């Protein structure tokens, strides 16, 4: 079993990879954003258990910013795994913080993770594991690269990731100055 410090980061990374969404959306995803079907249905050859509503923060004023991601078996597993720590939280990505630390501004629940905390935990883990240590810190992959990877993988499978990712246009993703 993962340590509590790693558990929330693992859930955040997997959720981002499955949904194509960035840390801002992942940190806000709640269990109540899931709508579960009485019985799973077949959709595009996949068993779908419900939908996860996501509101893309970067383009939140645009109609395309609201998406419903099908809850496939992979996404259902992530949601189920997020509950294994038995922390009573409304957030899919959550953690117990040091009791001595005061709750950060703009958080609605003590277990809520700030986007910066998730990004920092990702970078700290990457560096602790010595991954990409040959690169300068500013050149090393960030949490946001998971979104880019997810979009790339959906595209490679012949699936259009634009609607799922709440992109308002079909421009290629740019990552660290590199265009795919």
Give the model confidence (pLDDT) of 101-149 as tens digits: 666 677 889 999 999 999 999 999 999 999 999 999 999 999 999 999 9
pLDDT on residue 52: 96
- Residue 157 CA to residue 161 CA, distance in Å, equals 10
- Residue 129 CA to residue 65 CA, distance in Å, equals 35
Work out whether the CA dihedral 1, 126, 176, 180 comes out positive or negative.
negative
Averaged pLDDT, 14-35: 95
pLDDT at 33 > cutoff 60: yes
Helices 73-82 + 4-19 axis angle, to 10: 160
pLDDT at 176 > cutoff 60: no
pLDDT on residue 44: 83
pLDDT at 170 > cutoff 60: no
């Amino acid at each position: 079993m993962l340590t509590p410090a790693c558990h929330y980061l693992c859930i955040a990374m997997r959720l981002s990879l499955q949904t194509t969404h960035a840390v801002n959306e992942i940190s806000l995803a709640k269990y109540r954003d899931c709508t579960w079907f009485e019985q799973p249905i077949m959709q595009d050859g996949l068993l779908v258990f419900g939908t996860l509503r996501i509101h893309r923060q970067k383009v939140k004023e645009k109609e395309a910013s609201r998406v419903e991601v099908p809850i496939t078996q992979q996404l259902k597993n992530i949601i189920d795994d997020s509950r294994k720590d038995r922390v009573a939280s409304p957030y899919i990505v959550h953690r117990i913080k040091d009791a001595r630390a005061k709750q950060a501004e703009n958080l609605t629940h003590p277990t809520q993770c700030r986007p910066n905390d998730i990004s920092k935990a990702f970078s700290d883990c990457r560096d602790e594991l010595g991954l990409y240590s040959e690169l300068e810190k500013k050149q090393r992959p960030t949490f946001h690269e998971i979104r880019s990877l997810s979009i790339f993988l959906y595209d490679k499978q012949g699936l259009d990731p634009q609607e799922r990712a709440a992109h308002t246009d079909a421009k290629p993703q740019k990552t660290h100055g590199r265009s795919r």
